[in-house]
Amino acid sequence: MLVDAKTLALFGGTPVRAAFLPYSRQTVSAADRSAVLRVLDSDFLTTGPEVVSFEEKLQRVTGGAYAAAVSNGTAALHCMLDAYSIAPGDEVIVPVITFAATANAVRYMGATPVFADVESDTLLIDPAKVEHLVNPSTKAIIAVDFAGQPADYSGLRSVLPDRVYLLADAAHSIGASLDMKPVGTLADASTFSFHPVKPVAAGEGGAVVSIDNDVIKSVKTFRNHGIDNDHEARKSANTWTYSISRLGFNYRLSDIHCALASSQLDSMESRRLRRQELSEMYDSLLSELTGVSPLVLRHGIVSSHHLYVVKLDLKMFTEGRDMFFSALRAENIGVNVHYQPIPAHPYYQNSGDSLTDCPVGADAYEIILSLPLWSGMTNTDLEDVVTALKKVTAAFKR
């Protein structure tokens, strides 16, 4: 029995959990379900009253920024960069550790993503590194609120010329704040994702918010084929004509999705508090484990606690991160890795990008693991994760 409890499931032992624990999943309430069902019986399935009321609600939770809902977080990035007229020849600075969409969206505009290194303790884009990357072609920067912690926006502002737009990929951080200022007002414009693992789930969905209403008006045209969005005026003039003022896409979000996202916004803070509680439990249980440490939360931050990322001190272990990943998965613990550095992907390698200028991000990638974290997780689930981590660290102890 004792031997079996110690033998890693990877090597034939009994897994810590009988059932697989995912690293994340959505939490859908009865109120969420009835909100969606109401739409199914209404006059609108796509663009209707739910879109407008969702955008108004978003505006309230993001500190008064204007909002436009779009089909997903990647489309939101595309819409935002279009609104700032990012074009071929422009450079846009992005962090080396982020989801590929942050850099891909720069490519959609024919512009060049320039990768900035991150800080080792937070994995947030490092203002000191950004400073050296700015040149006359630099048009914008997209900071990423990694794991739910807002980036250092004032630090970034202080190293950027006024002409460079400070933008936020806030896919992880809706509901978070920095020095009491909510995400949504920290940058010139910010994007959200409502993918099921994100703090607000719509199935698929995204949004752009900005204190500059011209940016949001532009997004509303771009998301609807480039059609000037004055459909109310068309209706009152009793005409079918509309004009395409420029090229756009179909990036609309449906009323069905908006009803779900809207209902999820109502309960966002209670889910955030639960993730905060779970994160604090991890903090205290992991403090007894040598060689495993969480990322640092800076002073003045209220995090959305989207991810719980730990770093492994590989000096202490006989195995690397990949073996930790396999061993924990075998114990039925759904660990994950956020993220592979973007310049390491073949598409970016083929474009001449390399990791050599981002040594901190490159090194961090070798030692990071995301532990399961979602609001519907039980304390017992979390204890299973820690038990599995203890088992694996003991087996791999140097």
Ligand X SMILES: *Cc1c(COP(=O)(O)O)cnc(C)c1O
Q: Least distance in Å: CB of 86 to ligand X?
A: 16
For the bound state, the minimum distance from the C-beta of residue 359 to ligand X, rounded and expressed in Å, comes to: 22
Among positions 17, 129, 139, 172, the unique one binding ligand X when judged by CB under 6 A:
172
| Of 50 and 204, CB closest to ligand X | 204
- Binding-site string for ligand X from residue 183 to residue 212, where x marks contact by CB under 6 A and - marks none: ----------x-x----------x------
Q: Are strands 206-210 and 66-70 parallel, antiparallel or unpaired?
A: antiparallel
113/206 with CB nearer ligand X:
206
Options 79, 144, 159, 253; binder of ligand X; rule CB under 6 A = 144
Q: Does the footprint of ligand X cover residue 73 (CB under 6 A)?
A: yes
Cβ proximity to ligand X: between 74 and 185 the closer is: 74
Question: Considering the complex, what minimum distance in angstroms separates the CB of residue 308 from ligand X?
Answer: 15
**Least gap, CB of 254 to ligand X (angstroms):** 14
Contacts of residue 115, defined as CB under 8 A and 6 or more positions apart, other chains included, come to 93, 94, 95, 96, 103, 341, 342, 343, 353, 357, 358
Residue 74 in contact with ligand X, rule: CB under 6 A: yes
Contact set for ligand X, span 87-106 (CB under 6 A): 98-99, 101-102
The kind and range of the H/E element at 127 are helix 127-131
- Residues 365-394: x/- map of binding to ligand X (CB under 6 A)? ------------------------------
168, β-bridge pairs: 143, 190
| Residue with the shortest CB distance to ligand X | 73
Query: Minimum CB separation from ligand X for residue 118, in Å?
Result: 13
Cβ at position 102, least distance to ligand X in Å? 5
Kind of pairing between the strands at 165-169 and 177-178: unpaired
Distance, in Å, from the CA atom of 7 to the CA atom of 3, rounded to the nearest integer, reads: 6
User: Is 139 strand, coil or helix?
Assistant: strand
Options 50, 91, 126, 169; binder of ligand X; rule CB under 6 A:
169
Q: Is 252 in the site for ligand X (CB under 6 A)?
A: no
Number of residues that bind ligand X (CB under 6 A): 14
User: Among residue numbers 230 through 249, which ones bind ligand X (CB under 6 A)?
Assistant: none
Helix (H) or strand (E) holding 181, with range, is strand 181-182
How is residue 267 written in tokens?
A: 């309960």
Across the chain, which distance is largest between two alpha carbons, in Å? 80
Burial of 195-216, coded b for 16+ CB within 10 Å and e otherwise, reads bbbbbbbbbbbbbbbbbeeebb
Which of residues 167 and 330 has its CB atom nearest to ligand X in the complex?
167
What is the rounded CA–CA span in Å between residue 373 and residue 365?
19
Residue with Cβ nearer ligand X (172 or 305): 172
Cα dist from 204 to 72, 74, 261, whole Å: 6, 10, 10
What tokens appear for 247 in the block?
A: 């090229």
CA distance 84 to 81: 5
Asked if 171 and 198 count as a contact pair (C-beta separation under 8 A), the reply is: yes
Contact between 258 and ligand X by CB under 6 A: the answer reads no
Verify binding: residue 304, ligand X, rule CB under 6 A. no
Minimum distance, C-beta of residue 197 to ligand X, in the bound complex (Å): 8
Nearest to 166 by CA among 192, 140, 146: 140
Nearest distance, CB of residue 193 and ligand X, angstroms = 3
Please select the residue that binds ligand X; options are 171, 186, 208, 278, rule is CB under 6 A.
171
- Token pair belonging to 149: 């912690």
Give contact residues for ligand X (rule: CB under 6 A).
Answer: 72-74, 98-99, 101-102, 144, 169, 171-172, 193, 195, 206
